[in-house]
Structure 1
Amino acid sequence: MDLTTLKIPPFYEVVQPYLDTGNRDYLAKVLKHWSLAVDPDRNIRYALHDAIFRDDEAAVRMILDAGVDPGMRQVHDPNFTPLLAAAQHGRLEIARLLWQVVGPAGRLYPGKRSALSCLQVAARNGHADLVVYFLEVYADWTDEDKQHTLQDAAYSWCDDVVALLLARIDFEPSALQGALERVVQGRMILPEAPTRRPPRTEDYVHQQNVVRQLIDAGANPEVRRRQYFNQSLIHMASIVRYSIGALRGLLERGVDVNTQDSEGRTALKRLVSRPPLSTDVLRVLLQHGASLEMVGEAGESLFHTIAHNGTTEQLQLCLSYSPNSLASIRSQTSHGETLLHYAAAGGRDDIVKLLLEHGLDVNAVTSNGWTPLLCALSPTNFKREQCAYRAAELLLQKGASAQIVTDEGWSPLHALATWPTARDEETRNWATRLAQDLISRGAPVDAEPRLIQDPDINMSKLRDMWGFRMERFVEGLQPVTQSPWDMSDDTTPLMWAMWSNAIGVFETIRTHLDSVLAMGLLWGATALLAARAAQAYPAAGSSTSTAAALSVPKTAAGASIPHSNSFASFSFEPAFWVEFFGNASTPNNLTFGVLDRIHEHGGFPIIRPGGITMDSMIFDPEGPDSVRTTSAAGGVWRTTVGPGYYESWNNFPEGTKFISTLNFGNESLEIAKGLAVASTKYQADKIAYFELGNEPTNYKSTRWNFSTQAYVDQWKEYTHDIDAAVNETGISLSSERWWASSATTDDSGLEVRPIALIPAGVDSENQVGVYSIHSYGFSTCDPARAARATIENILNHTELVRYCDEEIYPSARAALDVGKSWNIGEFNSISCSGQPNVTDTFAQALWVVDSELIYATRNASATHLHMGATLVLQSADQSNSPGENGTPGFSTYSMLYPRDTAKRGPARTLPSFLAQLFMAEAFAVQGTRVRALEAPAGVDSERFSAWAFYVEDKISKVALVNMKPYYANSASDFTVSVDLSSLADAANGTVYAKRMTAPYVNTGDSKLSTWAGQSFPQGEPEGETDIEKVEGSVDVRGSEAVLIFFNPEEVYGLKDTSVA
Structure 2
Amino acid sequence: MFPVPLLLLVVYCLPRAYGITVYGVQGPLELATGSAGPTLVYTSDTAAGTAVFDPVNFTGPAAFNPVILAPPPVPSPAPPTSFPINLPQNAQNMPGLSIEQKGSFFGFSMEMSVINQFIGINSTYLQVPFLNLISLVAERAGSVHMRVGGNTQETATVVPSLEGGKVIEKDKADSSNPTETPALLISLEMLYMMANVSSLVNIQWYLGIPFNDTSHLRLQIAEYGESILGDNIIGFQVGNEPDLYPGHGHRPPWWNQTDYFNDFGVVVDAANNDPLIPVKGNLIAPSLSGNWTPESIWDTGFLPAYTDSLSFLSVERYPDDNCAAAFPEAGFGPPIDPQTIFANYLTHNAGKGIVDQYTDTAAVAQQAGKPLLMFETNTASCGGFPGVSDSFGSALWVIDYGLQMAYANFSGALLHIGGQDVSYNPFNPPPTNQSSFEQWTVGPIFYGMLVIAEALGTSNTSQVVDLFQNSNNEFTPGYGIWENGQLVRLALINYVTDPSGQSDYTTTITIGGAQWNEPDATPSSLKVKYLAAESVSVKENITWAGQTLGSRFQADGRFQGDETVQTVTCDETTNTCNVTVPAPGFALVFLSDSAFEESTPSSTPTFATTAVTKTMNTATVPASVLANSNGNSGSERKDLSSTSKGSSGAIQMAGGAPAGLTVLATVLAIAFMIPGFIER
Q: TM-score, normalised by structure 1?
A: 0.46
- CA offset at residue 761 of structure 1? 2.3
- CA offset at residue 588 of structure 1? 0.5
Asked if residue 798 in structure 1 is aligned to residue 345 in structure 2, the reply is no
CA distance in 2, matches of 1:949, 1:771: 25
The DSSP-based 3-state class of the residue aligned with 2:453 is helix
Q: CA RMSD, aligned part only?
A: 3.4
- CA offset at residue 678 of structure 1? 1.8
User: Any conservation in 1 of the 2:211–2:239 contact (CA below 8 Å)?
Assistant: yes
Q: Match for residue 1000 of structure 1?
A: 535
* 1:520-669 pair list within 5 angstroms: 547-557=82-92, 558-582=96-120, 583-623=122-162, 624-630=166-172, 635-649=180-194, 650-652=196-198, 653-667=200-214, 669=216
User: Any conservation in 2 of the 1:896–1:910 contact (CA below 8 Å)?
Assistant: yes
CA distance in 1, matches of 2:418, 2:276: 32
The DSSP-based 3-state class of the residue aligned with 2:263 is helix
The DSSP-based 3-state class of the residue aligned with 1:1025 is coil
In the alignment of these two chains, the number of paired residues is: 521
The DSSP-based 3-state class of the residue aligned with 1:986 is coil
The DSSP-based 3-state class of the residue aligned with 1:575 is helix
Q: More helix per residue: 1 or 2? A: 1
Q: Whose RCO is larger (CA < 8 A, sep 6+)? A: 2
CA distance in 1, matches of 2:445, 2:600: 23
Closer/same/farther in 2, CA of residues 830 and 510 from structure 1, 3 Å limit: farther
Q: Match for residue 416 of structure 2?
A: 866
- CA offset at residue 614 of structure 1? 1.3
User: Any conservation in 2 of the 1:845–1:914 contact (CA below 8 Å)?
Assistant: yes
Q: More strand per residue: 1 or 2? A: 2
CA distance in 2, matches of 1:498, 1:560: 38
Asked if residue 824 in structure 1 is aligned to residue 353 in structure 2, the reply is no
Q: Deviations over 1:896-933 (max 9, x none)?
A: 11233469975221222211221111112211111100
CA distance in 1, matches of 2:174, 2:408: 43
Q: Deviations over 1:504-529 (max 9, x none)?
A: x513489899xxxxxxx99999xxxx
CA distance in 2, matches of 1:971, 1:680: 57
Closer/same/farther in 2, CA of residues 429 and 630 from structure 1, 3 Å limit: farther
The DSSP-based 3-state class of the residue aligned with 2:104 is coil
**Unpaired stretches in structure 2, ≥5 consecutive residues:** 45-70, 72-79, 326-333, 514-519, 570-576, 604-680
Q: Match for residue 928 of structure 1?
A: 462
Q: Deviations over 1:867-904 (max 9, x none)?
A: 112xxxxxxxxxxxxxxxxxx43x22111112334699
- CA offset at residue 632 of structure 1? 12
User: Any conservation in 2 of the 1:1048–1:1054 contact (CA below 8 Å)?
Assistant: no
CA distance in 2, matches of 1:594, 1:675: 26
Q: Match for residue 329 of structure 2?
A: none
CA distance in 2, matches of 1:523, 1:679: 54
* The one of 685, 689, 693 aligned to 2:235: 689
Q: Match for residue 856 of structure 1?
A: 406
Closer/same/farther in 2, CA of residues 588 and 903 from structure 1, 3 Å limit: closer
The letter for the 1-side match of 2:528 is: A
* 1:410-449 pair list within 5 angstroms: 421-422=2-3, 425-426=5-6, 429=9, 432=11, 436=14
Closer/same/farther in 2, CA of residues 506 and 973 from structure 1, 3 Å limit: farther
CA distance in 1, matches of 2:294, 2:263: 16
The DSSP-based 3-state class of the residue aligned with 1:550 is strand
The DSSP-based 3-state class of the residue aligned with 2:302 is coil
The DSSP-based 3-state class of the residue aligned with 1:801 is helix
The DSSP-based 3-state class of the residue aligned with 2:234 is strand
CA distance in 1, matches of 2:37, 2:429: 40
User: Any conservation in 1 of the 2:505–2:580 contact (CA below 8 Å)?
Assistant: yes
The letter for the 2-side match of 1:864 is: L
The letter for the 1-side match of 2:234 is: A
- CA offset at residue 983 of structure 1? 5.6
Q: Deviations over 1:350-407 (max 9, x none)?
A: xxxxxxxxxxxxxxxxxxxxxxxxxxxxxxxxxxxxxxxxxxxxxxxxxxxxxxxxxx
Asked if residue 1039 in structure 1 is aligned to residue 584 in structure 2, the reply is yes
CA distance in 1, matches of 2:317, 2:586: 23
The DSSP-based 3-state class of the residue aligned with 1:786 is coil
Q: Match for residue 324 of structure 1?
A: none
Q: Deviations over 1:100-122 (max 9, x none)?
A: xxxxxxxxxxxxxxxxxxxxxxx
- CA offset at residue 496 of structure 1? 6.5
Q: Match for residue 898 of structure 1?
A: 429
Q: Match for residue 300 of structure 2?
A: 760
The DSSP-based 3-state class of the residue aligned with 2:487 is strand
The letter for the 2-side match of 1:941 is: N
* The one of 689, 700, 722 aligned to 2:271: 722
CA distance in 2, matches of 1:973, 1:989: 28
CA distance in 2, matches of 1:718, 1:523: 60
Q: Match for residue 114 of structure 1?
A: none
Q: Deviations over 1:696-715 (max 9, x none)?
A: 12212553614211111011
The DSSP-based 3-state class of the residue aligned with 2:252 is coil
CA distance in 1, matches of 2:391, 2:103: 26
The letter for the 1-side match of 2:217 is: E
Closer/same/farther in 2, CA of residues 1010 and 630 from structure 1, 3 Å limit: farther
User: Any conservation in 2 of the 1:988–1:1048 contact (CA below 8 Å)?
Assistant: no
CA distance in 1, matches of 2:119, 2:287: 24
CA distance in 1, matches of 2:222, 2:450: 32
Q: Match for residue 252 of structure 2?
A: 703
The DSSP-based 3-state class of the residue aligned with 2:268 is helix
Closer/same/farther in 2, CA of residues 522 and 867 from structure 1, 3 Å limit: closer
Q: Match for residue 10 of structure 1?
A: none
- CA offset at residue 693 of structure 1? 1.7
* The one of 437, 441, 450 aligned to 1:908: 441
CA distance in 2, matches of 1:990, 1:657: 38
- CA offset at residue 1045 of structure 1? 0.8
The DSSP-based 3-state class of the residue aligned with 1:964 is coil
CA distance in 2, matches of 1:632, 1:858: 37
The DSSP-based 3-state class of the residue aligned with 1:1000 is coil
Q: Match for residue 518 of structure 1?
A: none
- CA offset at residue 666 of structure 1? 4.5
Closer/same/farther in 2, CA of residues 803 and 683 from structure 1, 3 Å limit: closer
CA distance in 1, matches of 2:41, 2:336: 39
CA distance in 2, matches of 1:1050, 1:606: 23
Larger radius of gyration: 1
User: Any conservation in 2 of the 1:547–1:1033 contact (CA below 8 Å)?
Assistant: no
Q: Match for residue 771 of structure 1?
A: 313
User: Any conservation in 2 of the 1:421–1:501 contact (CA below 8 Å)?
Assistant: no
Closer/same/farther in 2, CA of residues 567 and 524 from structure 1, 3 Å limit: closer
- CA offset at residue 791 of structure 1? 2.8
Q: Match for residue 507 of structure 1?
A: 32
User: Any conservation in 1 of the 2:27–2:42 contact (CA below 8 Å)?
Assistant: no
Q: Match for residue 613 of structure 2?
A: none
CA distance in 1, matches of 2:600, 2:365: 40
